[in-house]
Amino acid sequence: MASNIEAPNRISRMLLNLYDVFQFIGRFFKEGFLPPYEGKELMKQCYDIGYKSLALISLTGFITGVVFTKQSRPSLAEFGATSWLPSLVGIALLRT
């Protein structure tokens, strides 16, 4: 249990942290919505991030498809529905 001496320190730290949060939020809106706008730089960054992550996204999708196929094939084969496997995997990957 906190002593009477520690309680004011905890409250003052909490208030200082709350002040910092509101100061950050205010600065975010001030910097984000007031001119000068840097639209070209934003588009360049979005393009770079998307282009550089394309290989990782493709590899992740491929591995997910392989795992999903290996897990679903035995169940589908049991019911004679293995022809549904490609469309099942395609729909599953598009929905995620």
Q: Check residue 37 and give its pLDDT.
A: 83
Neighbouring residues of 82: CB distance < 8 A, sequence distance ≥ 6: 73, 76
Contact 56, 88 (CB under 8 A): no
Overall size of the chain counted in residues: 96
CA distances 27 to 15, 24, 34, 86, 91, Å, are 18, 5, 11, 50, 43
- Tens digits of residue pLDDT in 12-35: 999 999 999 999 999 999 988 888
Query: pTM above the 0.85 mark?
Result: no
At 41, the amino acid letter reads E
- Tens digits of residue pLDDT in 33-72: 888 888 899 899 999 998 889 899 889 989 999 999 999 9
